[in-house]
Homo-oligomer: A and B are copies of this chain.
């Protein structure tokens, strides 16, 4: 009897694995098509590709919500499984429930609405007139709230938005974090503004050929441990990282020939994402347990490399001479101190994607507060622009001259991506805690980095973060690795230490 029963479980597990692998293959194919569209596809291919994407999405949805998959989940939920299978089952259940709970009609209406809303947003931004977009924004919020009601466990609909990108994150957990950060960031920005010791902002500008930038970027991410047998670096208008599978992780960047820092930090940032994807367990590819945890943890990997390594003094002690070799006309007569100050300059600005590490969080907090209010129904669409501008003034001391440089600057809302912005900031908070722990675990870490050696740090990340896949939530992972839940203290300490020195504060 026991033998037969074990055989049945084995068979169910095999079916579960096969179905998961099929789903993973379809996701990987969809990512390949997406990468191709962003980097390669000629323009006349667009309508055909849209059809392919839709065909694939339908097939995927059919597979994920099939009665066969549902039955396997139920069957396995009765059994005692090992940890990996337990995690896979939990994650599969999560995906299955999300896919089955929202009525297909609503999914379809959302997809259609977002597709038209995106066109409207493009036009609204061009004309810098929110009125072109607000009816669509209103409709999307309406539909997203319906979606939230199908998904949410508690009574805060916006929690369903957060949970989509940062599983288990809630308003109740996020509010205290951001409430701590906001006044302290605003205060630090103000102190920095008032400092008489300002960097030379023109110092990073010059003439930088794309070829040399690519060469330098390639050298740096090779030293970080980027595996070229399992990855590529290409050009696209919006830099991104696309992990098709652990054997094929593709990053892109865009180059400015006037400012080397755009391409450089872009490459290091995306390579941070890529190292996470390359570090997932290849032999378990397809198992839901073996994917990245959340957007926040993903962003922690890119921010750790871009900021905590890439904008640090030890890093440039090694790489600044190499930057001079690459661009002697621009940097041969620049002192390392001045260069470091310039790549860490802080200045309130209107556009989130151009923001430095101190002001960036305030851009996120502003968006989070507006989104939350929209979902709570405590903010009307017609008041969004006013609230945006008022918060910009309050947090950053700036007033957008037009909607294009204000409320219309981000594409996210037109795609229905609410609850997404907070993950950018969470990533930085996680990164500050992880990097602090890495410094404790690897006592000579900064000496290594100052010698251009970064592979022990990568190995630490592999062991502490990458290998675990989805075993832990972000919260559990942070507790596990650093002994503390995600909080704002570590990041604030880091900022105060770093910027007090750079701007000679107090």
Contact = CB atoms under 8 A, between A and B. Distances in A.
A29 interface: yes
Nearest to A56: B29
A22 B55 contact: yes
Contacts of A285: 48
Nearest to A51: B25
Contact of A228 (B42, B227, B228): B42
Nearest to A41: B248
B247 A40 contact: no
Interface string A313-334: 0000000000000000000000
Interface stretch (A101-109, A229-237, A461-469): A229-237
A28 B44 contact: no
A47 B247 contact: yes
Contacts of A246: 44, 48
A351 interface: no
A285 B59 CA distance: 20
A320 B263 CA distance: 42
A48 B290 CA distance: 15
Contacts of A45: 230, 244-245, 247-248
Interface string A175-189: 000000000000000
Given A36-B36, A42-B229, A44-B227, 19 more contacts: A21-B51, A22-B55, A25-B51, A25-B56, A29-B29, A29-B33, A29-B56, A32-B32, A32-B33, A32-B52, A41-B248, A42-B248, A44-B229, A44-B230, A44-B246, A44-B247, A44-B248, A47-B247, A48-B245
A28 B42 contact: no
Contact of A55 (B26, B47, B48, B232): B26
Contacts of A244: 45, 48
A154 interface: no
B43 A28 contact: no
A210 interface: no
14 contacts: A21-B51, A25-B55, A25-B56, A26-B55, A28-B48, A29-B52, A29-B56, A32-B33, A32-B52, A40-B40, A42-B230, A42-B247, A44-B227, A44-B246
Interface in A54-76: 55-56, 59
Interface of A: 21-22, 25-26, 28-29, 32-33, 36, 40-49, 51-52, 55-56, 59, 227-232, 244-248, 285
Contacts of A32: 32-33, 36, 52
A33 B25 CA distance: 12
Contacts of A248: 41-42, 44-45, 48-49
Contacts of A55: 21-22, 25-26, 29
Contacts of A46: 247
A49 B247 CA distance: 9
Given A25-B51, A33-B29, A36-B36, A42 B231 contact: yes
Contacts of A228: 42
A92 B91 CA distance: 41
Nearest to A27: B52
Nearest to A55: B25
Nearest to A58: B22
Contacts of A36: 32, 36
A246 B47 CA distance: 11
A177 B130 CA distance: 71
A52 B33 contact: no
Nearest to A248: B45
A290 to B, nearest CB: 13
A47 B246 CA distance: 11
Contacts of A232: 40, 42
A55 B48 CA distance: 21
A141 to B, nearest CB: 32
- Please name the 9 residue pairs, one residue from A and one from B, whose CB atoms are nearest each other, closest first: A45-B248, A44-B247, A44-B230, A25-B55, A48-B245, A45-B247, A25-B52, A44-B229, A48-B247
A361 to B, nearest CB: 35
Nearest to A30: B29
Nearest to A46: B247
A178 to B, nearest CB: 39
